[in-house]
């Protein structure tokens, strides 16, 4: 059987456990998982699922990224993506400096269109393209919003902050994503836009979802509903409310509250039936297809892999579905195939995810953990799997 080095999540859990002076048995007693599973994850015989990592991070009082090893700096440097992060960080720090007299800016119409294009780039998983364009556009919009304040300029600036969050999360810079969300709230308040404010609460909730703080995530979703409730019942407001329900469904799934999962999926389905596909609203991809995808994701989070696999194999994704969402689905499906013993199918889905969204797939923790699991399950590692493992840095 092939072996991996100590650069995997299980090894980092083991290291942090020892730093906390805990035995395996003592850490297992703090987790909603068995001692046997902890033992297998630490030695690399089982992949570390996102819920397992979040539980370990909470028990060890460390950030999830300490255990996942994010950001994956070596790979980011090889891909020349790490060098794009500092300009984003600097542009985020311009928010309260007012106009820049030395800056030449484009028209408001072009800046607003540019902010929208960045969202399209991220949904198409063109992370490098978006990351390169983002700092300059953010600087121009900051200048323009201070010089000639308008609702649309503040909204566009908030959108660039949201893009900064999206890029930071996908590359594993969670500290930077938190700054971006704070800036988003700041701009949304100046735009007096409750829908933007609610979207920001949704994104904050997903941060706590990753960290295993499900109650805080649920409170943030409730706060988002309260904020969007201040807006008129437009198609935009309904789509945001529906997306909040979808976010709540996966948070409740991780918390193993099946009743709440069904409630939120039901509410989201009701809204989707009423307004149809609303993937154009705030680039949330909300609509009937996204409801179905979240129902499947909830089954994955509850480790109901047989049910999740049945849903995945019946799924017919619309052609207009965002590439980022399609790749996420393929990664989820790969995990369900692996967990149910269909390793060849799992590898096929990961290869497809890499083909359509290479940057997103390479830096997605679930993809890396699934590849790790496939390597350890293989008696003879296929060349394709060897190439995938080397590609993600294993």
pLDDT tens digits for range 4-40: 556 788 889 999 999 999 999 999 999 988 999 999 8
Residue 335 pLDDT class (50, 70, 90 cuts): very high
Per-residue three-class SS string for 127-142:
HHHHHHHHHHHHHHHH
Mean pLDDT throughout 113-141?
Answer: 95
Mean pLDDT throughout 248-261?
Answer: 94
* Calpha distance 206→211 (Å, rounded): 9
- 1-69: what fold? 434 Repressor (Amino-terminal Domain) (1.10.260)
* pLDDT, position 328: 94
Burial track 63-88 (b if 16+ CB lie within 10 A, e otherwise) = ebbbbbbbbbeebbeebebbebbebb
**For residue 75, pLDDT beyond 90:** no
Q: Please give the biggest Cα pair distance in the chain.
A: 65
**For residue 44, pLDDT beyond 60:** yes
* pLDDT, position 112: 97
Q: Is 194-321 in the same CATH topology as 1-69?
A: no
Residues above pLDDT 90, as percent of the chain = 73
* pLDDT, position 80: 84
- With a CB cutoff of 8 Å and minimum separation 6, the contacts of 380 are none
Query: Which residues are paired to 309 by β-bridges?
Result: none
Residue 56 pLDDT class (50, 70, 90 cuts): very high
On average, the pLDDT of the chain sits at 91
* pLDDT, position 76: 85
**For residue 358, pLDDT beyond 80:** yes
* pLDDT, position 96: 93
User: Quick one: CA torsion of 226, 227, 230, 234, rounded to 10 degrees?
Assistant: -100
Give residue limits of the domains in the chain. 1-69, 72-192, 194-321, 327-394
* pLDDT, position 2: 43
State how far the alpha carbon of 145 is from the alpha carbons of 191, 202, 309, in Å: 10, 25, 48
* Calpha distance 184→291 (Å, rounded): 26
**For residue 1, pLDDT beyond 50:** no
Maximum average pLDDT range among 27-31, 34-38, 151-155, 203-207: 151-155
- 194-321: what fold? 1.25.40
**For residue 3, pLDDT beyond 70:** no
* pLDDT, position 179: 95
Short-list 50, 2, 1, CA closest to 394 = 2
């Amino acid at each position: 059987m092939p072996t991996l080095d100590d650069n995997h999540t299980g090894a980092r859990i083991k290291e942090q456990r020892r730093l906390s002076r805990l035995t395996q048995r003592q850490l297992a007693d703090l987790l909603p998982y068995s001692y046997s599973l902890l033992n297998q994850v630490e030695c690399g015989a089982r992949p570390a699922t996102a819920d397992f990592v979040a539980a370990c991070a909470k028990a060890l009082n460390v950030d999830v990224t300490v255990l996942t090893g994010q950001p994956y700096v070596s790979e980011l440097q090889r891909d020349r993506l790490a060098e794009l992060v500092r300009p984003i960080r600097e542009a985020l720090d311009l928010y309260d400096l007012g106009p820049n007299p030395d800056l030449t800016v484009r028209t408001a119409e072009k800046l607003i269109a540019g902010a929208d294009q960045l969202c399209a780039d991220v949904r198409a998983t063109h992370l490098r393209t978006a990351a390169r364009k983002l700092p300059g556009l953010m600087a121009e919009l900051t200048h323009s919003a201070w010089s000639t304040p308008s609702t649309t300029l503040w909204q566009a600036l908030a959108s660039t902050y949201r893009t900064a969050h999206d890029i930071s999360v996908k590359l594993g810079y969670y500290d930077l994503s938190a700054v971006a969300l704070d800036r988003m709230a700041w701009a949304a308040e100046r735009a007096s836009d409750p829908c933007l404010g609610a979207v920001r609460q949704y994104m904050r909730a997903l941060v706590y979802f990753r960290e295993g703080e499900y109650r805080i995530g649920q409170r943030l979703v409730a706060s988002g509903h309260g904020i969007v409730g201040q807006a008129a019942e437009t198609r935009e407001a309904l789509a945001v409310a529906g997306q909040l329900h979808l976010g709540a469904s996966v948070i409740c799934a991780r918390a193993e509250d099946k009743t709440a999962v069904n409630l939120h999926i039901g509410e989201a389905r009701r809204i989707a039936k009423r307004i149809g596909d609303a993937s154009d609203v705030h680039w949330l991809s909300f609509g009937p297809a996204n409801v179905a995808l979240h129902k499947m994701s909830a089954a994955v989070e509850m480790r109901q892999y047989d049910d999740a696999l049945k849903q995945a194999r019946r799924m017919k994704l619309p052609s207009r579905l965002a590439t980022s969402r399609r790749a996420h689905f393929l990664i989820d499906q790969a995990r369900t195939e692996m967990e149910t013993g269909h390793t060849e199918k799992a590898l096929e889905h990961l290869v497809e995810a890499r083909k359509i969204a290479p940057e997103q797939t390479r830096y997605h923790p679930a993809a890396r953990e699934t590849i790790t699991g496939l390597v350890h399950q293989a008696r003879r590692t296929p060349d394709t799997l060897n190439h995938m493992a080397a590609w993600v840095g294993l």
